[in-house]
Structure 1
Amino acid sequence: MKRFLTGAAVVVIIAASVFIYYQVSIPCLLLKDGDTGKLIAAYPVKEGDRFSITFIHSVNQSPVTDVYEIRSGKIYVVQTTYYSFGAGVQTEIEEGQILEYGEDGSMTVRGFERRMDSLSYIVGTVSDHMLEINGKSISLRELCGRNTTVSFSCGRKLFP
């Protein structure tokens, strides 16, 4: 009987700890060093929030902006905008996707609806990667350093 009570107490303590953690932490976009796993930054997010990464394509030397959305605590790619074709740039439209042309010569593909179980960028040495989130523009080069692999995920963080 003593073992049962001890086991039950452990379960209650764990459940209470998880409950408390979820009460005092908030959902965030987490940026971690892809090599070490060390947390670089955390940005509060909520369901439906969007963020984007803009960079200069290494081959065609034109801007690319990838837009992501938070859904049920996961990251989904929802659109990309680019100005020229090159390696890794979409050249065919899949079912459910829409290609729109901008007056500035941009091409925007919408309708990806693809969950990103693994999302990372290598911060450029020649050009920067800019994170747009919560109305702020953040230089990943300044935040993380050149040649850093930055992995993005959703999680929870305690904030003061």
Structure 2
Amino acid sequence: MRTAILTASRRALGPAALLLCLLPLPGLAAAEGWLEVHADDGRLIAALPVPEGEAWCLEWNHSVAGFPVLDCYRHREGRMVLERSHLPDFAAGLDHIPGRGRQVSDGEGGYWIEAIDEPVPGNRYRLRVGSPEVNHRLLHEGRRLSLSDQAAGERVTIHLQTSATTP
């Protein structure tokens, strides 16, 4: 019985609860940098340590073609910076905007847009999390965390917390 309750509790809380275990002592998060995802109701969906210089990506499946698309960011000097994007095809809505980075082949029929280097205003942006088929997910240190498993159909805010952005 106890095992069943623990298993049910883990399932109900999901991966976000595991990430809560990584939260630092008060004041430490701001110094090192944390990527936080909050639902509109204030619920913490994810919290990842992202020290200065570290990178992460938001990956999702294209809603028409179904292949994965990537937007990759870096914590650079206290800022969330969009560095590059990977687009495996020129499908609907996926194209390079001249003057915004440079397009290079990925060698497999798709392409990277490199050197975008755009700071994200306020170190945060809003996202409507896609269905399980779209499966918005964070990629960080070789791990994937599905936001769709936690908040499909919800609006969330993805925010890099640093000493410059923490009140």
Return the TM-score normalized by structure 2.
Answer: 0.69
Q: Which residue of 1 aligns with 2:120?
A: 116
Output the CA distance in 2 between the equivalents of 1:151 and 1:28.
Answer: 13
Work out whether 1:31 is the aligned partner of 2:60.
no
Structure richer in strand, relative to its length: 1
Q: Which runs of 5+ in 1 are unaligned?
A: 1-19
Is the CA contact 1:74–1:153 (under 8 Å) kept in the aligned structure 2? no
Output the CA distance in 1 between the equivalents of 2:52 and 2:111.
Answer: 27
Output the CA distance in 2 between the equivalents of 1:128 and 1:85.
Answer: 20
Output the CA distance in 2 between the equivalents of 1:24 and 1:68.
Answer: 18
Is the CA contact 2:45–2:151 (under 8 Å) kept in the aligned structure 1? no
Q: Which residue of 1 aligns with 2:110?
A: 106
Is the CA contact 2:86–2:112 (under 8 Å) kept in the aligned structure 1? yes
Work out whether 1:69 is the aligned partner of 2:69.
no
Is the CA contact 2:33–2:52 (under 8 Å) kept in the aligned structure 1? no
For the pair shown, the structure with the greater C-alpha radius of gyration is 1
Two-structure CA RMSD over aligned residues (Å): 2.5
Return the TM-score normalized by structure 1.
Answer: 0.72
Alignment of 1:2-151 (within 5 A): 21-22=26-27, 26-33=32-39, 35-94=40-99, 97-117=101-121, 118-125=124-131, 126-142=133-149, 144-151=150-157
After superposition, what is the alpha-carbon deviation per residue over 1:20-46, rounded to whole angstroms, capped at 9, x for unaligned?
95358652111111x223322211111
Runs (4+) off by over 4 Å: 23-26
CA-CA distance at 1:104 after TM superposition? 1.5
Identical positions, percent:
24
Quick one: structure 1 residues 103 and 24, their matched pair in 2 at CA, closer, same or farther if it must change by over 3 Å?
Answer: closer
Quick one: structure 1 residues 23 and 59, their matched pair in 2 at CA, closer, same or farther if it must change by over 3 Å?
Answer: closer
Report the count of equivalent residues: 135
CA-CA distance at 1:60 after TM superposition? 3.9
